[in-house]
Amino acid sequence: MSKLVLTEEESMLADMARGFLDGAAPVSAFRKMRDEGRTHDAKLWKQMAEMGWAGVLVPEDAGGSDMGFAAANVIAREMGKTLVVSPFLSTAVMAATALRQVSDARASDALAKIASGDVTYALAIDEGIKHDPEATMMEARADGNGFRLTGKKTFVVDGAMADRLLVLARTADGLTLFDIPSDRAGITRDKSNMIDARDAAKIDFENVEATGEDVLGQVHSAMTVLRPALQAGQAALAAEMAGLSAGAFEMTVGYLKERKQFGTEIGRFQALQHRAAHLWCETEVTASAILNAGRMLDDDPQNAELAVSLAKAKATSTATLAVQEGVQMHGGIGMTDAYDMGFYMKRARVSSEWLGDYSYHAERVAALRGF
C-alpha cells in the first residue's frame, strides 16, 4: 500500500470523527458561539477527551491513546471541515509533543491531565507580527535558583482560556522553555478579537517568577523540546486547513448544483466546471502532502522538517484558493455574513499566519532543498 493512502484504521478514524463532529460541532454551532461571544466549548472538549482525541499523542501509560501524528492529522482535517473550535492543536498536539520530549514524573503527570481533558495549554512563542521563535527577546533573568520573566507575547492562540502556558524566553546563553500556570502573579492576558472568532491573546509578563521546576527540558536548550512540538503543530494545522478547503469546496459545489441562471444550474457552465475541477485537484495534492508529513513525523521525525513545511505551505496556498473561489462562485451572497462561506475565508486567513505563513515555509523548503 502506498504511504500516501489512508490506512484502514485511519479511514475508520476519519469516518468516526466526521460522524461525531457533524452532530456535535457543525458550522451552525460555530456561528452560534460567535454570536454569543464564546471561543471555547468545555463540554465539547470533554467529549473529545472521552473519545481519546485529547490523548492522541499521549503515551498509553499516561492514559493516552498514542495514535501518532498521522492520526492526529486525520482528526484535525475533519475538524477543519466544519471549523471546529477547540484546544486540540495547542494542547493535544503541540503541548503533548513538547512534554513527550522530557522524561520525568512531572511531564508524565501533565500528559495524563491532557489526555483526560483536565488541563489545556497555549504556546506563548512569538513577539512580532510574524512567526519567528529564534527572534525571542523576552528576558528570563536569573534570580537565585530560578528566573524572572519579563516581556510580551502576541498571537497566543487559546491563550485567553488555557490553564497553562509554554513560554519561550531568552536566558543568558540561549533560549529556555517554561511550563507555567496562566494565572501566575505578574501575567496579564488581553484577549484579542481575531477575525475568525477564535481565542487568542496578547500576554504581558511582568517580573513573573519561574522556578527550576518550571523549566521544560534543559536551560538554554528550548528548541530541543520546542522544535518537534512546532513541527507537529504545523502539520496538524496544515491538515485542518486541508479540511477547511474541502469544506469550502463541498459548499461551493453544492451551490453550483442548486443556483440557476437563465433556467440552468450554473454548475453546467463549463468555465465554472473548470475552476471547480482545478480546485479539487489542488485539494487532493494537498492531502497527499499532509499524509506525507504525518508519516515522516511518525517514522523519521529527525528529518521531517521538509515534509512539514511543504505541507503547511501547500495547505496555505490551497485554502486561499478554496475560499477565494468559493466567495466568487457564490456571487454576492458569498460576501455576506448570513452565508457560511465568509467563516471559511476568515479562518483561512488566520490559519495562514499561525505557525509560519506561506513565505516562511516556502523559504524553509527552498533552504532544505539546497537553494
Neighbours of 32 (CB within 10 A): 12
The grid coordinates listed for 89 are 492543536
Q: pTM score, two decimals?
A: 0.96
The pLDDT assigned to 2 comes to 45
- CB contact set of 58 (below 8 Å; sequence gap of 6+): 64, 65, 66, 92, 96, 100, 111, 112, 114, 115
Same domain, 184 and 251: no
Domain end point (choices 221, 252, 281)? 221
Q: In degrees rounded to 5, what are phi and psi of residue 338?
A: -70, -15
CA 310 to CA 238: how far, in whole Å?
A: 10
Helical ranges in 92-221 per DSSP H: 96-100, 105-116
247 and 348 together in one domain = yes
Q: For residue 13, what pLDDT is reported? A: 97
Q: Are 241 and 161 in a shared domain?
A: no
Q: Which of 350, 326, 351 is nearest to 336 (CA)?
A: 326
Phi, psi of 63 (to 5 degrees): 95, 5
| Residues β-bridged to residue 150 | 139
Same domain, 234 and 364: yes
Phi, psi of 68 (to 5 degrees): 105, 170
| C-alpha span between 89 and 235 (Å, rounded) | 10
Supply 223's cell numbers: 528548541
Range of the domain at 205: 122-221
Per the domain annotation, does 279 fall within a domain?
Answer: yes
Q: According to the model, what pLDDT value does residue 266 have?
A: 86
Shared domain check, 102 and 21: yes
pLDDT at 1: 36
Cα first-last separation, the chain: 33
Cell numbers 466526521 correspond to: 18
Q: What is the pLDDT of residue 280?
A: 96
| pLDDT given for residue 335 in this prediction | 81
On whether both 187 and 257 belong to a single domain, the answer is no
Give every residue of the chain whose pLDDT is below 50, as ranges.
1-2
Check whether residue 86 and residue 167 sit in a common domain.
Answer: no
The domain boundary residue, chosen from 85, 120, 155? 120
Q: What is the dihedral of CA 336, 340, 343, 344, to 10 degrees?
A: -120
Give the model confidence (pLDDT) of 233-265 as tens digits: 999 999 999 999 999 999 999 989 988 888 888
Distance CA 294, CA 304 (A): 9
Provide the number of structural domains found in the chain: 3
Q: What's 175's domain CATH number?
A: 2.40.110.10
Residue 190 lies in a domain: yes
- Residues 195-217 as b/e (b if ≥16 CB within 10 A, e otherwise) read ebbbbbbbbebeebebeeebbbb
What's the confidence (pLDDT) of residue 268? 85
Where among 200, 221, 242 does a domain terminate? 221
Q: Are 242 and 316 in contact (CB under 8 A)?
A: no
Q: What SS3 class is residue 353?
A: helix
